[in-house]
């Protein structure tokens, strides 16, 4: 049995509370805190604003970390990462959570290309400081090994046992209960109408426009169906509206805009009501590195909600759902195939029922206590990575090799 560790979690966002909005990073760290406490560890959950045990800022990291045996933070939070790299003692183990490919997402969002070099440099600082790295799936493991190699952290000391653990996004251990209230469906959509759900923000890598085109095809067979986009406009503007507006424009062009409606981003605990109402959900994406490295948290949660899903081929969660019979995978950008998948699900109650059962089986495998078990064990004896004390020497050796190669070439 491992010992008890005091763990400081530096959450990228505020964890969910009843009646409040929440996003994936806050959900992950709230669940992480809960599971670690249940396992006997002492946890300080800090967030960038009020709503957790403490509020962190780059200047407060050192004081917050005093007395803790490990610190956990997300790789995508590069500014915080630099503060961690520079202010924490060398003998304090730091866990870098890479479950979302932060560098790839930063490129895809492309808000200010001029800021990217600095973001990359700060991220590499954090990778050089980390002692354990959490990834969500096998493709992320390979990608993170590449990053660690670039940072000098894949070397003769770590080659045989890289400091990586696969810790995907999980779901609540208990299945969803009956929703306590409706979500206003009657205002937007007739109570008994077939309902196709798009749940969550429309980030640049998603393809909601093709989903709308597929829905327009499905309407030819199910003329009483409706398509509801829940939370398409991110309340904190983390997802730009361009892709959502593209989807709404497609609905107008196809003459189905009266059947494609928006609902606001709602409290985290009220999502169950939407899941209970939906006949199926759809989540399509464009091709690209983000897709290949993603671990779609919204798909994971839809599985927990026992909602049959139509998803694009190419991402780990969607492929797993389709293979298990919990949904249908369609080629990227193929509106006809997306429409046919919706037609099949909307028209076959037995297929939907079987998909819900399959989704429940997958959700049982993704319960938070199960997916976090390897990390809980590691925290029983947290340790500084074997190579970190010599990282500078490895980096110096690499620089020497580069200089030697240049000299030989010249």
122-144 pLDDT, tens digit per residue, is: 888 899 999 999 999 999 999 99
Q: Which pLDDT value is given to residue 170? A: 96
Share of the chain above pLDDT 90, in %: 68
| Average pLDDT of the segment spanning 369-380 | 96
Q: Which pLDDT value is given to residue 410? A: 59
Q: How far apart are CA 344 and CA 166, in angstroms?
A: 35
Q: Which pLDDT value is given to residue 1? A: 47
**DSSP character string of 238-300:** SS-SHHHHHHHHHHHHHT-TTTEEEE----GGGHHHHHHH-SEEEE-B-SSHHHHH---HHHH
Q: How far apart are CA 95 and CA 131, in angstroms?
A: 6
Q: List Cβ neighbours of 136 (8 Å cut-off, separation of 6 or more).
A: 98, 99, 100, 166, 167, 168, 169, 295, 316
Higher pLDDT, 391 or 250: 250
Q: How confident is the model at residue 236 (pLDDT cuts 50, 70, 90)?
A: confident
| Average pLDDT of the segment spanning 105-111 | 81
| Average pLDDT of the segment spanning 83-91 | 88
| Average pLDDT of the segment spanning 72-87 | 82
Burial string for 30-48 (b: 16+ CB within 10 Å, else e) reads bbbbbbbeebebebbbbbb
Q: Please, are residues 293 and 320 in contact by the beta-carbon 8 Å criterion? A: no
Per-residue pLDDT for 330 more than 50? Answer: yes
Half-sphere exposure of residue 211: CA atoms within 13 angstroms, side-chain side? 30
Q: Give first-to-last CA distance, the chain, whole Å.
A: 58
Q: How far apart are CA 155 and CA 128, in angstroms?
A: 12
Per-residue pLDDT for 392 more than 80? Answer: no
| Average pLDDT of the segment spanning 362-375 | 96
Per-residue pLDDT for 300 more than 80? Answer: yes
Q: How far apart are CA 324 and CA 317, in angstroms?
A: 11
Name the CATH architecture for the domain at 6-170+368-404. Answer: 3-Layer(aba) Sandwich (3.40)
- pLDDT tens per residue across span 331-365: 999 999 999 999 999 999 999 999 999 999 999 99
Outline which parts of the chain fall under CATH 3.40.50.2000: 6-170+368-404, 185-365
Q: What's the token pair of residue 109? A: 């969002």
Per-residue pLDDT for 159 more than 50? Answer: yes
Q: How confident is the model at residue 391 (pLDDT cuts 50, 70, 90)?
A: very low
**Phi, psi values for residue 205, rounded to 5°:** -85, -5
Q: Which pLDDT value is given to residue 404? A: 58
Q: Mutual orientation of helices 242-254 and 208-219 as an angle, nearest 10°?
A: 20
Q: How confident is the model at residue 407 (pLDDT cuts 50, 70, 90)?
A: low
* Range in 232-241, 249-258, 341-350 the model is least confident about: 232-241
Per-residue pLDDT for 409 more than 70? Answer: no
Per-residue pLDDT for 221 more than 90? Answer: yes
CATH of 185-365, one of 3.40.50.720, 3.40.630.10, 3.40.50.2000, 1.10.1040.10: 3.40.50.2000
Per-residue pLDDT for 301 more than 60? Answer: yes
**Phi, psi values for residue 165, rounded to 5°:** -130, 140
- pLDDT tens per residue across span 164-209: 999 999 999 999 987 866 776 666 888 889 999 999 989 999 999 9
- pLDDT tens per residue across span 173-184: 999 987 866 776
Q: Which pLDDT value is given to residue 397? A: 53
């Amino acid at each position: 049995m491992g010992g008890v560790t005091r763990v400081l979690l530096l959450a990228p966002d505020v964890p969910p509370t009843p009646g409040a909005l929440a996003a994936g990073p806050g959900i992950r760290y709230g669940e992480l805190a809960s599971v670690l406490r249940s396992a006997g560890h002492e946890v300080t959950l800090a967030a960038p604003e009020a709503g957790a045990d403490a509020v962190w800022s780059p200047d407060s990291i050192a004081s917050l970390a005093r007395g803790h045996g490990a610190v956990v933070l997300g790789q995508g939070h590069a500014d915080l990462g630099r503060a961690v790299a520079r202010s924490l003692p060398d003998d304090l183990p730091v866990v870098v959570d890479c479950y979302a490919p932060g560098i790839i997402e930063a490129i895809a969002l492309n808000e200010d290309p001029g800021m990217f070099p600095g973001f990359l440099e700060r991220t590499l600082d954090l990778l050089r400081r980390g002692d354990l790295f959490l990834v969500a799936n096998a493709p992320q493991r390979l990608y993170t090994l590449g990053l660690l190699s670039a940072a000098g952290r894949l070397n003769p000391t770590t080659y045989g046992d890289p400091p990586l653990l696969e810790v995907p996004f999980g779901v609540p251990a208990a299945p969803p209960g009956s929703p306590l209230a409706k979500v206003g469906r009657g205002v937007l959509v007739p109570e008994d109408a077939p309902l196709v759900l798009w749940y969550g923000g429309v980030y640049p890598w998603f393809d909601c426009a093709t989903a709308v085109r597929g829905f327009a095809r499905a309407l030819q067979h199910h003329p009483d169906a409706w398509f509801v986009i829940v939370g398409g406009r991110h309340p904190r503007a983390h997802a730009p509206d361009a892709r959502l507006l593209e989807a709404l424009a497609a609905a107008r062009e196809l003459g189905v805009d009266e059947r494609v409606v928006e609902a606001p981003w709602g409290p985290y605990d009220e999502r169950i009501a939407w899941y209970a109402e939906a006949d199926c959900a759809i989540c399509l994406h464009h091709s690209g590195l983000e897709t290949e490295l993603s671990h779609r948290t919204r798909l994971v949660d839809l599985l927990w909600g026992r909602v049959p899903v139509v998803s694009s081929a190419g991402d780990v969660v969607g492929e797993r759902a389709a293979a298990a019979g919990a949904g249908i995978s369609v080629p990227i950008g193929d509106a006809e195939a997306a429409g046919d998948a919706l037609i099949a699900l909307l028209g076959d109650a037995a297929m939907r029922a079987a998909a819900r059962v399959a989704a429940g089986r997958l959700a049982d495998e993704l319960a938070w206590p199960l997916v976090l078990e390897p990390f809980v064990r590691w925290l029983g004896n947290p340790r500084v990575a074997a190579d970190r004390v010599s990282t500078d020497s490895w980096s110096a050796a690499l620089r020497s090799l580069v200089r030697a190669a240049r000299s030989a070439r010249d």
